[in-house]
Amino acid sequence: MNSFTYRYPVTVYFGEKAAEKNLPAELSKVGKNVMLAYGGGSVKRNGIYDELMGLLTAAGKNVTEFSGIMSNPTYAKVQEGAGIARENEIDFILAVDGGSVIDCCKVVSAQAKTDVDLWEMETVKHENPTEFIPMGAVVTAFGTGAEMNNGAVITNEEKKVKGPLWGAFYDFAILDPAYTMTMPMSQVISGAFDALSHCMETYMGTPCESNLSDEINEACQRSIIRNLRVTLKNPQDIKARSELVWAAAMGENGILKIGKVTDFQAHMLEHQLGAYTNCNHGQGLAVIHPVLYRHMLPEAAPQFARLAVNVWGVDPDGKTEGDPANAFIDALTSFIGEVSLPTTFAEMGIPADTDYKAIADSTILTGGCCKKFTKDELLAVLHECR
């Protein structure tokens, strides 16, 4: 295990009625002007908006709404939110929805406190913001674990780049599994696979030797697989949903990364696919992972073999290391089909004339991956995914 320092700044309130029980006390600590940020309106249809507005009103807050935050949030939307925050002298941001809204607000929180263009600051000057509007998150769509960290994935449409920016940590996150029960099943599946992907991407980093973080990671992967299967049989099983919500948070709260170097090459490739196609993130990962892992097989065989046995239950007796390593990819591929995720870009509706070379050429190459990919190899992966 590598040396590490672990500090975690986000207070997590988990369980049914978590907002009702805990939000009033948190609101008492912040200023009067609150920005309520959300996406396309599902929080109004399912009643969560009315509940939260009631709590905000009872706390005596002036509420300014920042709505319409899209999946794959754009840098233009970030700037819109920062402008609203400045104009209304916002003291606190309450982000309500899934990862897209939560990511967007992390950067809004930083951009609202500086006149310097944040994209320029972080990607050109390689400096990170230091001042933020305080924030809280209410998770209504799980999977990304975005409420657990200060990284955000933002699409710069002008530059055709979907990539990471660093913003604020949330002061607190409310995770009420009941809030996620109205998610469309396709979104539940996609979110669960994103959470599984975060675990796998963390696991695949160098060095290859297993440590305690990996053993906890294996348990998280088993939990996601088991509870997604339960959920598909009974979508109203609140216990299974609770496990999925917490597993998604575990994937991104830093615990699985302690003492690790992480991979995330599949994520970087899918991000750029999203920049060019605006595709569904979890679906894109489901298509990319098995193909990318076939290319990683020689370098990642020890990790793949451990996952085959410890996560997917492959019997290692009488097999060489190569057999269980291949069995891991086979099991993952079979699971993707079992939960009705797409296996090709064509199934996702991605046009055949998509500029895959531009996508590969603009993809970040991650140093932590056990295989050092080239842009040409990533292009080959994309072509195989078609």
Quote the strand ranges of the chain, DSSP E.
11-14, 33-37, 62-66, 92-97, 135-139, 151-156, 161-166, 172-175
Report the candidate in 38, 256, 3, 261 with the shortest Cα–Cα distance to residue 138: 38
- Asked if residues 275 and 162 have their Cβ atoms less than 8 Å apart, the reply is yes
**Phi then psi dihedrals of residue 349, to 5 deg:** 85, 15
d(CA 134, CA 113): 11
Model-level pTM? Answer: 0.95
Whole-Å CA distances, 94 to 30, 87, 111, 118: 11, 17, 16, 21
Token pair 């049914």 in the structure block, residue: 16
Pick among 3.40.50.720, 3.40.190.10, 1.10.10.10, 1.20.1090.10: CATH of 185-385: 1.20.1090.10
pLDDT of residue 208: 66
DSSP per residue over 179-217, as a string? GGTTS-HHHHHHHHHHHHHHHHHHHTBSS-S--HHHHHH
pLDDT of residue 320: 64
Question: In 10 A of CB 103, how many CB atoms?
Answer: 27
Domain ranges across the chain: 11-180, 185-385
pLDDT of residue 321: 61
Q: What is the CATH number of domain 11-180?
A: 3.40.50.1970
What does pLDDT average to in each consecutive run of 10 residues of the chain (386 residues)?
Answer: 84 96 98 96 92 98 98 97 98 97 98 97 96 98 96 96 95 97 96 98 82 95 98 97 98 94 96 97 98 96 94 82 88 98 98 97 95 97 98
pLDDT of residue 40: 87
C-alpha angle 326/332/334, rounded to 5°?
Answer: 100
Q: How far is CA 280 from the centre of its chain?
A: 12
- Asked if residues 344 and 325 have their Cβ atoms less than 8 Å apart, the reply is no
Amino acid letter for position 324: P
